[in-house]
């Protein structure tokens, strides 16, 4: 059996309770990034009335010693609400709220990369940086084996699965469709989805989002994905190379533009930005997965539609390059470009911040600057 026990509980019985009126109260689920920089955690409290804005949701706290986050004996950490979404699981008037994590001394937790990202995005607000991220992920049974794959063996080689239709081509579409609807309900700027090259691998896209919104929306979309998968009894992994061998890895291609790239003559600004990125490849690789490039080294081999982790390259319509300029952008002469290097398990706050530091703030070298 590859699906979890709790997914086999009677969902009809659950519905009876979910329909009960809740006396004007609102359930607010606080969501945060744990000490691994990859895991998301949540807990829920009751507010006396529906919060209308983020300012109406109070700070809260949690036990950081249980999330790999506490420092010594000071295990209380602060949860600071930063972006509110509708709750697609408990429905209106209930909320999901993305939070920043502060330590006992009110300094950012090590994995709270939003704090500096926000600062940088505010500095460059005039450039109106837009991002769109393509989140690839792989469905696993609770046995850790890709969902739908033969128990003892492998599916046929890659080819028929990408954007495929049919029971022998794609596995787990129920999850993908449920996640898509749940994100729309929540107010996530999800803009599309498709089946990927490896069977049981899927992608959804979020964007375009301006500035800090990219990280907030993608992290909440990931939370919703894990939560939907829990209902179906399977697991979504963001591991950048879940299966070794002739199977595609999972990335988080990051599409990026500034105001000047999006108007006539923009291609020149796109090329300028790519030139700056080419001179800072190592820094970006270091930021594009939670282990300083170690995770991504399993994926960026130069095969399976990736570039080599050791070399920077760019090209129009080239899916084997670090950076791709979409064909349409090359033809029209303005638009955006795609950085194909970020791993599926990257932190979008770190990725978007790095793009801005290099292309707008003109940083070079391996160090970041304090402003
Ligand atoms: P691909 O062809 O690489 O698979 P997708 O269609 O999966 O591309 O994703 C395209 C992404 O580009 C989406 O996330 C979308 O929001 C984003 N995007 C579109 N226009 C812009 C823009 N001007 N600036 C930044 N991102 C953009
Ligand atoms: Mn895509
Ligand atoms: Mn893809
Ligand atoms: Mn892409």
Q: Where are the domains of the chain?
A: 6-111, 121-359
Render 237-268 in DSSP notation, one character per residue.
Answer: E--S-SS-SSS---BEEEEEE-GGGGSTTHHH
Q: Say whether 74 sits in a helix, a strand or coil.
A: strand
Q: What would the two tokens of residue 100 be?
A: 């920043």
Query: Are domains 6-111 and 121-359 of this chain identical in fold?
Result: no
The Cα 108–Cα 55 span in angstroms is 20
Using pLDDT thresholds of 50, 70 and 90, give the confidence band for residue 1: low
Which of 25-29, 67-71, 79-83, 133-137 comes out lowest in average pLDDT? 67-71
Which ligand has the minimum distance to the alpha carbon of residue 258? 1
pLDDT tens figures, 313-325 = 999 999 899 999 9
pLDDT tens figures, 69-109 = 987 677 889 999 999 999 999 999 999 999 999 999 999 99
The Cα 145–Cα 153 span in angstroms is 10
pLDDT tens figures, 284-311 = 999 999 999 999 999 999 998 899 999 9
pLDDT tens figures, 178-214 = 999 999 999 999 999 999 999 999 999 999 999 999 9
pLDDT of residue 70: 81
pLDDT of residue 370: 93
Q: Tell me the C-alpha to C-alpha distance, in Å, between residue 261 and each of 43, 114, 275, 284.
A: 41, 25, 14, 21
Q: What would the two tokens of residue 69 be?
A: 């986050």
Answer for the pair 182, 79: CB distance below 8 angstroms, yes or no.
Answer: no
Would the CB of 353 count as within 6 Å of ligand 1?
Answer: no
Would the CB of 205 count as within 6 Å of ligand 1?
Answer: yes
211 dihedral zone (left: phi>0; alpha: psi -120 to 50; beta): left
The Cα 117–Cα 132 span in angstroms is 16
pLDDT of residue 153: 87
pLDDT of residue 197: 97
CATH architecture of 6-111: Roll (3.10)
Would the CB of 134 count as within 6 Å of ligand 1?
Answer: yes
- Cα dihedral 198, 6, 206, 59, rounded to 10, equals -150
Stated pTM of the model: 0.98
Would the CB of 231 count as within 6 Å of ligand 1?
Answer: no
How are beta strands 40-47 and 201-210 bridged, if at all? unpaired
Ligand 1, atom 8, lies closest to the CA of: 134
76 forms beta bridges with 63
Would the CB of 32 count as within 6 Å of ligand 1?
Answer: no
Give start and end residues of each alpha helix (H) in the chain: 11-18, 114-123, 173-186, 213-232, 266-278, 281-287, 294-297, 327-332, 348-359
CATH architecture of 121-359: 2-Layer Sandwich (3.30)
Which of 64-73, 144-153, 353-362 comes out lowest in average pLDDT? 64-73
Q: What would the two tokens of residue 337 be?
A: 């470009």
- Cα dihedral 333, 334, 335, 339, rounded to 10, equals 70
- Cα dihedral 69, 71, 77, 82, rounded to 10, equals -60
pLDDT tens figures, 218-244 = 999 999 999 999 999 999 999 999 999
The percent of residues in the chain predicted with pLDDT above 70, rounded, is 99
Q: Which residues contact 273 (CB under 8 A, 6 or more apart)?
A: 256, 258, 261, 337, 358, 359
Atom from ligand 1 closest to the CA of residue 335: 23
């Amino acid at each position: 059996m590859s699906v979890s026990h709790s997914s086999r509980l009677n969902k009809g019985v659950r519905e009876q309770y979910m329909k009960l009126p809740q006396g004007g109260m609102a359930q607010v689920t606080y969501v945060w990034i744990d000490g691994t920089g990859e895991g998301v955690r949540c807990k829920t409290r009751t507010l006396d009335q529906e919060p209308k804005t983020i300012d109406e949701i109070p700070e809260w706290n949690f036990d950081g010693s249980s999330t790999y986050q506490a420092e010594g004996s000071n295990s209380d950490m602060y949860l600071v609400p930063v972006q509110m979404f509708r709750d697609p699981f408990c429905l209106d008037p209930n909320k999901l709220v993305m939070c920043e994590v502060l330590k006992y001394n009110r300094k950012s937790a090590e994995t709270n990369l939003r704090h500096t990202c926000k600062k940088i995005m505010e500095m460059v607000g005039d450039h109106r940086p837009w991002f769109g991220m393509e989140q690839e992920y792989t469905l696993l049974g609770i046995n850790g084996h890709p969902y739908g794959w033969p128990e003892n063996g492998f599916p046929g080689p890659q080819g028929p699965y990408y954007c495929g239709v049919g029971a022998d081509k794609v596995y787990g579409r129920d999850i993908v469709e449920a996640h898509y609807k749940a994100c729309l309900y929540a107010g996530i700027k999800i803009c599309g989805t498709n089946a990927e090259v490896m069977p049981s691998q899927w992608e959804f896209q979020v964007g375009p989002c301006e500035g800090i919104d990219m990280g907030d929306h993608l992290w909440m979309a990931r939370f919703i994905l894990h939560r939907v998968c829990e209902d179906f009894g399977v697991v979504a992994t963001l591991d950048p190379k879940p299966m070794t061998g002739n199977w595609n890895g999972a990335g988080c291609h990051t599409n990026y533009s500034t105001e000047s790239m999006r108007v006539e003559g923009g291609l020149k600004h796109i090329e300028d930005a790519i030139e700056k990125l080419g001179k800072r490849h190592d820094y970006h690789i270091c930021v594009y997965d939670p282990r300083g490039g170690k995770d991504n080294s399993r994926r960026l081999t130069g095969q399976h539609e990736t570039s080599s982790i050791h070399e920077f390259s760019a090209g129009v319509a080239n899916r084997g390059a670090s950076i791709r300029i979409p064909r349409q952008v090359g033809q029209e002469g303005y638009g955006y470009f795609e950085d194909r290097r970020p791993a599926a398990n990257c932190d979008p706050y770190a990725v978007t911040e790095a793009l801005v530091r290099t292309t707008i703030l003109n940083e070079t070298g391996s160090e970041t600057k304090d402003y």
